[in-house]
A = this chain, B = another copy of it.
Amino acid sequence: MGPVKLDRIDIAILATLQRSGKMSNIALAATVGLSPSPCLTRVKRLEAAGYIAGYRAELAWAKLADHIIVFTEVTLADHKREDFVRFEAEIRRVEAVVECHVVSGGYDYLLKFVARNVAHYQEIIEAILDRNLGVEKYFSYVVIKTVTAKDGVPLRFLLP
């Protein structure tokens, strides 16, 4: 997990693997303009340094199962440290919550839910409210259409 300097080739490797994680080392080497041996060395180094968190298959959810996505703004009634800790600990255990962020201004948490349908979402929310986690109010935004959903983030855009 030591610090590793990233040169242009390392960035190219990361960017390529982000798009095609199963590409063979030979194909990867050709893509980034390296011969296979040093390319593999770099990949192993990047993995060991912790820059690659893992490899995942991206599933086609739309084809696999009917589902809806809902973003929910949550405001807690009290704002003591223990209120936050308790809410977060419990929300982590809810399968339907795929993202939960603390945000600045307006409200406390922004959550992203996945559910089979609106009724299913309602069940989930009510189960959360029943647990008395100190939710003062919440507002739900059901996703009607997703315009953009990038798999990764353009590396070159974020790196200086």
Interface set, chain A 115-160, CB cutoff 8 A to B: 116, 139, 141-155, 157-160
Contact with B along A83-109 (1 / 0, CB 8 A): 000001001100111111111111001
With contact pairs A56-B21, A102-B145 given, residues A63 and B51 touching in the complex (Cβ less than 8 Å): yes
Q: Is the interface of A mostly helix, strand, loop or mixed?
A: mixed
Number of interface residues of A (CB under 8 A): 66
Asked if B148 and A98 make an inter-chain contact with CB atoms under 8 angstroms apart, the answer reads yes
Asked if B64 and A158 make an inter-chain contact with CB atoms under 8 angstroms apart, the answer reads yes
Q: Which residues of A contact B (CB under 8 A)?
A: 6, 14, 17-22, 49-61, 63-65, 67, 69, 71, 88, 91-92, 95-106, 109-110, 114, 116, 139, 141-155, 157-160
